[in-house]
A = this chain, B = another copy of it.
């Protein structure tokens, strides 16, 4: 059984999606727009909707040529919880910029509001511009951020456990609202935080809102192995997905855990009734890309002048990875795209503008279902975090055309069987640690 989340992002994950005449570019501040997307995802019986988060305008490749950023995710998800009934709701929360008490309280509150459907994707944040909005001179280094993240997670989990599940007795005659001894301080003292507790909110319906992680670095994978209950991954193709999958599942077992920890790589899809129609949808978005700024961006990625290259000719050969002096990750992705897809320059710009290093599947519902099934059966994924290149169209296409094929093959639920996100993901409700 696949798990499917959808990563909602602006007008879609394609950087030029907002320029499409049908885009909702004017509605990015309109909560009804997000509610309608959540209802679409719920119609498709998806496990969850997911929001990334950034603390500076222009983070995550959003910039002056497109939407900078929009509503704050925790406040959005409360409204979206009331517009839906079953689908999970996952927000990114930065352990670098929040205190554990704020995070634990808001997430617990949202878990009550949504009736047990909240998840939190723990990130340590990355940009100096974000740090400078919260009092830092620059982003603290990676090791410091991960040490803080681990202490942050520990404190949050203990705050959620500071109330017994059955703490509320509401005995009007005796005058006892809470069972004596059922709400306790946690007295956390660590390197980064002092948190006495208890939390101001009773234990969440799920015990703990589901913890997601998306770390790709060594420290990120270790944090995920020890704490994450579900993982968002980046995998360009099946071999790289399999390598990541094996590594993280091994780390989870090495950490002594038996939880399923579903791994969901990001997935960009263009769906058509024929492969040609699907490719035409992709080309339509690619054609909206601002050529000059896209070329300038590519120039920084590959560290050579490409402003005069022919947009509709194949990308010329690039030097091998070893010879490249800049950041290797993205350059390796570009080499692989060129190697496997033989794209024109315009097609390469389009691929980089929609999901970057994530997997892209273009084709008929059956073709896409085939590849998803292969990833599932061959140890590359337990599901996918859908990254629709345009909203609502790419999401509608997936829900209306691909989901029925997956359902017919018995690979995806026909209806919700559980009432909580934890239930959708097959995760046990955590017992309170005493």
**Chain A residues within 8 Å of B, Cβ to Cβ:** 18-21, 23, 25-26, 29-31, 35, 54-57, 59, 64-72, 74-76, 78-79, 81-83, 97-99, 101-102, 105-106, 108-110, 112-113, 129, 132-137, 168, 170, 172-173, 175-178, 180, 183, 193-202, 290
Q: Which residues of B are found within 8 Å of A81, using beta-carbon distances?
A: 79
Q: Which residues of B are found within 8 Å of A56, using beta-carbon distances?
A: 196, 200
Say which residue of B99, B135, B177, B201 sits within 8 Å of A194 (CB atoms): B135
A196 vs B78: C-alpha distance when bound (angstroms): 28
* Docked-complex contact A65 and B29, CB < 8 angstroms: no
Say which residue of B67, B79, B110, B196 sits within 8 Å of A177 (CB atoms): B67
Q: Which residues of B are found within 8 Å of A133, using beta-carbon distances?
A: 99, 101, 195-197
* Docked-complex contact A76 and B21, CB < 8 angstroms: no
Q: Which residues of B are found within 8 Å of A67, using beta-carbon distances?
A: 177
Q: Which residues of B are found within 8 Å of A201, using beta-carbon distances?
A: 29, 69-72
Q: Which residues of B are found within 8 Å of A180, using beta-carbon distances?
A: 64
* Docked-complex contact A76 and B113, CB < 8 angstroms: yes
A54 vs B97: C-alpha distance when bound (angstroms): 20
Q: Which residues of B are found within 8 Å of A29, using beta-carbon distances?
A: 112, 201-202
* Docked-complex contact B200 and A69, CB < 8 angstroms: yes
- In addition to A66-B175, A66-B177, A129-B196, 19 A-B residue pairs with Cβ atoms within 8 Å of each other are A31-B112, A35-B82, A55-B101, A55-B200, A56-B200, A57-B200, A67-B177, A70-B201, A70-B202, A71-B112, A71-B201, A72-B200, A76-B109, A82-B82, A97-B99, A99-B135, A132-B196, A135-B195, A137-B194
Whether A113 contacts B82 in the complex (CB less than 8 A), given A133-B195, A197-B133, comes out as no
Q: Which residues of B are found within 8 Å of A135, using beta-carbon distances?
A: 99, 193-195
* Chain B residue with Cβ nearest A30: B112
A269 vs B187: C-alpha distance when bound (angstroms): 41
* Chain B residue with Cβ nearest A29: B112
Q: Which residues of B are found within 8 Å of A202, using beta-carbon distances?
A: 29, 70
* Docked-complex contact A25 and B177, CB < 8 angstroms: yes
A133 vs B66: C-alpha distance when bound (angstroms): 39
Q: Which residues of B are found within 8 Å of A136, using beta-carbon distances?
A: 194
Q: Which residues of B are found within 8 Å of A54, using beta-carbon distances?
A: 200
* Docked-complex contact B110 and A75, CB < 8 angstroms: yes
Whether A175 contacts B19 in the complex (CB less than 8 A), given A68-B200, A109-B71, comes out as yes
* Chain B residue with Cβ nearest A197: B133
Q: Which residues of B are found within 8 Å of A23, using beta-carbon distances?
A: 172
Q: Which residues of B are found within 8 Å of A177, using beta-carbon distances?
A: 18, 25, 64-68
* Docked-complex contact B71 and A170, CB < 8 angstroms: no
Whether A68 contacts B31 in the complex (CB less than 8 A), given A76-B78, A172-B19, comes out as no
